[in-house]
Structures are given as structure tokens and as C-alpha cells.
Structure 1
Amino acid sequence: MPTIAVKRDLLFRYLEKTYTDEEFQKVCFEFGLELDDITTERQMIAREQGDESRSVEGASEEIIYRIDIPANRYDLLCIEGLVLGIKIFQGSLNAPVFRTVGSGINVPLKINVNPSVANVRPYIVGAILRNITFTCDSYMSFIDLQDKLHQNICRKRSLVAIGTHDYDTIQGPFTYEAKAPQDIKFVPLNEAQEYTAEGLMTLYANHAQLKQYLPIIKDQALYPVITDFNGVVLSLPPIINSDNSKITLNTKNVFIECTATDLTKAKIVLDTIVCMFSGYCADKYSAENVEVCYPDQRALLYPELAYRKKKVSAKRANGVVGIKIIDIYFSKIY
């Protein structure tokens, strides 16, 4: 069961309500969650280092809530989803309707898929969050959600790898293909010089975070790579993005791509990110379509943000929850 750490005061500000620790523990229980721990950033870091009594330079004493999240509730892995879920549950907010929109010129951004990826990492999906406004807190939450998804539904990037880019630094259409590692050259995220993909395998061999992902592609003859119209590398999935297209606090338009060996999970991951952060867009709860063009002439639009209606028998519902209700309809996003 994954656990998220949220700043108590920020959480209460988003919820537009203040609780005592006991009151919020009750809110979690009613919503189906568990408030696992009440701590501080300093205590969390000290605990990881094996000494809770030690002083940690620069660490905050701000109260942190650590909350256990059900394994199948990917939407609750960030403060945005947690707040949205609680508000809807408490009836203080109507469930938003998430939707896709065109590019404004009726020609969506295209990702052209080369046949070479078929036996490497065959699927890709994408979306654009337009006119988004980040704060320090929402920016860090955006990055943290990707990490949480990578460790859970993405199965440490083996099934899905997420790339997020400043759309204003690159030019579509994009190409998704597989190339020999020595033929892929770019400046990776937070580095100052250019490397080949082959060189990155050596560079990251002892990297604390990235070394665990290298075996996914290291022994393959071809590596997947995403490039823009000018041949500029965006990403070497599932390892690292390019420094050229990195997002910052000032990024206004975010291009999200998810490459995958499991298309269903890729769509869930993309929809989750879009639904959690489209609330920060000027046109709230919307995402711009991206068209993925496959070699067999299929052209698929993402994100799907699909809804379906489910009819639930009152008799069955009564038998499960032990109450008496009439026939109702449920709507759920997938």
C-alpha cells in the first residue's frame, strides 16, 4: 500500500477547512483511508538516516501527514487528487467533468510511430496541458506524482515510463522510433554535456535512482527515443528526458508522453496526470488532444478521458452494503 506525505497546513488550505489531528483522522477513516503518521520533514529525514533525534540542516518543522493510499487509487497519490476526492465525498464540490479540446487550429499535435519500436516498447500516448500555472507546491506535487506512478502502476517504468516537457521549447510533429544506442546523442536532464545513449549506460551505472531502470533496455540492440521535427531528442524512455525540454516553474504548456509495453496502463497513467493537474490550466479540467499515428495507418487520439454509465441493481447493492436503496446509475471515468 503506497503512502503519501502532505503538508498539513497546505492540505487544510486546499480543503478550505481546518481540522484537529483527531478530526482529520476521522475524515480519512470515513473516506476509506488511514492517517498513518503525523511527523515533520526533519523527523522524516532523520528517520531515513537512522537517528530521529539528530538535527537536519535546512529541514522544516512543518507538520506532515503521512496517509496510506489503497493500491488501486492512483488518483489519490497527490494532494490534488486527495483534496478533490475528499471534497466530492463531503459534498462541498461537484465532480468535475474532464474533457479533451482541439489545438485551436483543428490540427492536433502528431506523434509518428516508427515500426522499429514494435519489439522494443511499442506504445505511446500523449496530451498537452495548456496555459498551466505552477506554484512551488504544485510543481513539486507534479514531479512527485510521476515518481509515485512510476513505482506503482508503472512497475518501476517497466510497463510505463512518463516524460513531461516544456512544449514551448520543442516543435512537432514528433517521432517515436528505436535506434542503435551509439546513434542517439543529447544532453540529458540536469547534465551539462552531450552523451550517447551508450554512454549514459555507463554514466548512470551507479546513479542512486536511475541505475535500477537501465536493465529495461540496456541489453537491447535498439533503444527507444522520441525526437521533435528538428531531430532534437526529447526523451530516452524509460531512462531520462532531455535537458533541453525540461519543465520549470515558468512552464506554461506541458507536453506529456507515456511510452509503454502495456497500452491500457499507459492510458490510465496519462488520464491520471491530466485529471490531477488540468485544474491548474486556464481552461480548467481540459487537455489538448495528441494524435498518435501508427505504421498500419491507425491514428488514435489521446487522452481518452472516457466516461461510461454503469447500471447497478438495487437488490445487489442492498445485499453488499446492507441498506435499502432504489435503482441508480453511476458514472465513472476510465
Structure 2
Amino acid sequence: MSRGPRTAGGAYAPPAPRRELTVTSADGSRLHVEEHGREDGPTVVLVHGWTCSTAFWGPVVRRLADEHRVFVYDQRGHGRSPAVGPGGYSTDALADDLCAVLDAAGSRAVVAGHSMGGMTVMAAAGRPQVRERVAAALLCNTGSSRLLHESTVAPLRAGGLRYRIQKAVLGSSLPLGPVTPLGMRVLRYATMGPGATKEQMEVCARIVHACPRAVRASWARKVLAVLDLDANLASLDLPVGVIAGEKDRLTPPVLSRRLAEALPNCTGLTELPGLGHMTPLEDPDAVAGEVAALVRGHLAGGVRQEAAQRKTPPAEAPAGKESA
């Protein structure tokens, strides 16, 4: 199990959580969960993507914590959530994990998912926890199907050769090695916009390189390469905003446009000029602003009354420690 990356300080340092807990998913998998912000604020749940961790959301958490109760969690096998067996990688598992975290949060929430985190939200569409506990959602840099067909990481024309190269690269279990200037430039090309700063590149690289290579390859081969959640979109009938990065090579804007057209209640598509796949790192103000707008529009009423009635769910382990 990874303990998470050593990220830079300042604006990109992961903030200290108010509370840490371990949540158990439907198949017994344990998830590391952090609660940030004010206890009586409207609840927000942030779901990170492939090869990332709770640290990825650090800049967005900082912008939301003064007014919101913010939950972040490590997807199974990422960060401080243990890896699972070969059968534990599926969209159903992603949905189960999100539902377990929603139950632990114990109140209605706005949920934001980035990349595979957005796929997690789509996978959970129609689940009782989503219908009862999710007031609105934000899908960032994600898609419901045809990821490898539309990805432009390989600088080739669309077709079979580009598809095969991207499938091989995505599913590779080769070690990424230490973070180097060359490695950061390669990662920026694949995942960030051309204007990404050196600090953003370093933070992104440390987070991605911290993901165990077997976990990285398993999610890529068993979920991302074969993803098809198109049928779930009709069940995601709550208010949903969509964010795309204009220069996103991994999940190009065409995928976000298709989502915006297919969702029953899309509140709008925001395409961020010049940004790549990692919009929560590249422009945390924009992402946090979209989350806060969904809270104001669909959750803010009655929050304090709910908070007064809320019973904080018990952690399975003391703060700062994990259960055995």
C-alpha cells in the first residue's frame, strides 16, 4: 500500500484533515477517508481519478474548507487504501466504494469526480445512496465510453494504430521510476496543458508516481480500456455540471460534450481554455467555484438544520492511524 506522495509545500501541500477514518466497502475493501472543513457546512465529496490520491484534491479542498464540510478518499489501491485482489477492479467496485463513503458522510452532498472519479459517479447512477444523498454532481475531465478511441496522447491520426499504442501505454505495468525533469515534461505532455507551471508538474508527477504499478495497470486494463457507462447516464438524473480542459489529451473535450448532451439534467459544460487533463491542479479556483455554485444552487437550503441532527459516523480507526 502506498502512503501517498511527498508533495510540494505551500498551496499544493495536502491540508491537514479534521478527521480521518477507514470505511469498509461492500466487498470488505478498506478505504482511507479524510474529512476537512467546518462540521456544520454543506457536505462535498471529492473523488479522485486513476493513479491519483487524496493529495490531488489539496488545492480544491483549501478553497472549499472555510465554508464546506469536505470528504476526500483514496480509491482502492491508491494512496492509503490497500490494493485488492484481481476481482476487485470494476466499475461496480468503484460505485460500491462511493456509496460506502456517502453512507459514512451521513448527509446529502454535492459530489465531484475527476477522470476515473467521474466514472465512479456515473457507475453509481441509480444506486439508492446516490438518489437519497447526492443533491448534484460535477464531472471533471471524464467520459462514459470510447476513451482509447478518442484519446490523443499518441500523436497519430485516429485509427487502429493509435488505439493499439494507447492501449499498450495505458495498461503498462512498467515502473515510472523517480521524478525527473524529463519525466515531468513527459507527464505534462500527456496530462496537463502547455501553461502548467513547474510546481504543478512536480506535484502531479509525485502523485502519479506514488501509485503502485500493479494497481495502475489493473485499473487501466480492466476498467478504463473497456469502459462503457453510456447506459448509466439516463439514471444520473440529478443536476450535473461538466468541466473539460481544452487541451486534454487523455479525455478530450469531445467526451465531455457527449456527456453534456446525454445527461438528463446537465447544468452546463465549462471548457477551460489552455488546460489539460488535471484541471483541479491546473485551475483549482475554477473547479472549486463550480462545486460551490452547485452547493449554492442545490444543497445550501436546510444544511444547518441537517447538521444539527447529524450524528458523526464513528471511525474504525483513530485519527492518523489505520485499522489492522
Which protein has the bigger helix share? 2
Structure showing greater radius of gyration is 1
Normalised by the length of structure 1, the TM-score is: 0.29
Which protein has the bigger strand share? 1
Normalised by the length of structure 2, the TM-score is: 0.29
